[in-house]
Amino acid sequence: MIKNRDITSAIILDTRKAKLDGTFPIKLRITFKRTQKYYTLKTSLSPEDFEKCFEKNPKKEFKDYSTIFKKVENEAIDIINDISEFTFEKFDERFLDKTVDKKSVFEAYENYMAKLKINGQIGTASNYNTSLNSLKEFHKKKNLFFENITSEFLSNYEKYMLNLNKSYTTI
């Protein structure tokens, strides 16, 4: 829930312009003092499929979309609530920030897997999930930051994987 009543957020189907396949882009809409700004989620759906994402008990594919949409909107709400005096510039700086070194490796994995799922790359997302689980088993801490990945860390991870009888291709 957004604390500032002047700001609203919503995941919307942008029906202003259809794509060639007849689908429409999905966007996050932020409204502040009657000014709207749209952030693309890099996926598109038909109006019927978009509605299925918000049913009480959506089917598997639509449940994945629904989960991702909620995650994106909750991330936006957290950022909005964290900004003392909201401006779109401050929001953009935080929401669109692509610098990886400020995030944990695990968070970067989760964000990338969400994008893969939105793009329909479920198999690739599954491979990344397996890799993430392996790293979490090895690291055994809540977070792993990019700055902590050193040649020593990678060497130890390689030894760990070899002890699990994993091939070099898997590693």
Is 142 found in the same domain as 84?
Answer: no
For residue 155, what pLDDT band results from cuts at 50, 70 and 90? very high
Residue with tokens 């009480």: 56
Q: What is the pLDDT of residue 3?
A: 79
Is 115 found in the same domain as 129?
Answer: yes
Is 90 found in the same domain as 13?
Answer: yes
Q: What is the 3-state secondary structure (H, E, C) of 34-95?
A: CEEEEEEEEEEECHHHHHHHCCCCCCHHHHHHHHHHHHHHHHHHHHHHHCCCCCHHHHHHHH
Look at residue 138 and tell me whether its pLDDT is greater than 90. Answer: yes
Q: Which domain holds residue 35?
A: 1-97
Is 19 found in the same domain as 35?
Answer: yes
Residue 100 identity (one-letter amino acid):
V
Is 157 found in the same domain as 120?
Answer: yes
Q: What is the pLDDT of residue 84?
A: 84
For residue 1, what pLDDT band results from cuts at 50, 70 and 90? confident
Find the angle CA(13)-CA(61)-CA(27) to the nearest 5 degrees: 20
Domain count, the chain: 2
Q: What is the pLDDT of residue 119?
A: 81
- Given 97, 113, 132, which residue is the final one in a domain? 97
Q: pLDDT of 18-57, one tens digit each?
A: 999 999 999 999 999 999 999 998 899 999 999 999 998 8
Q: pLDDT of 83-133, one tens digit each?
A: 888 999 989 888 887 544 456 888 889 888 888 888 889 999 999 999 999
Is 60 found in the same domain as 143?
Answer: no
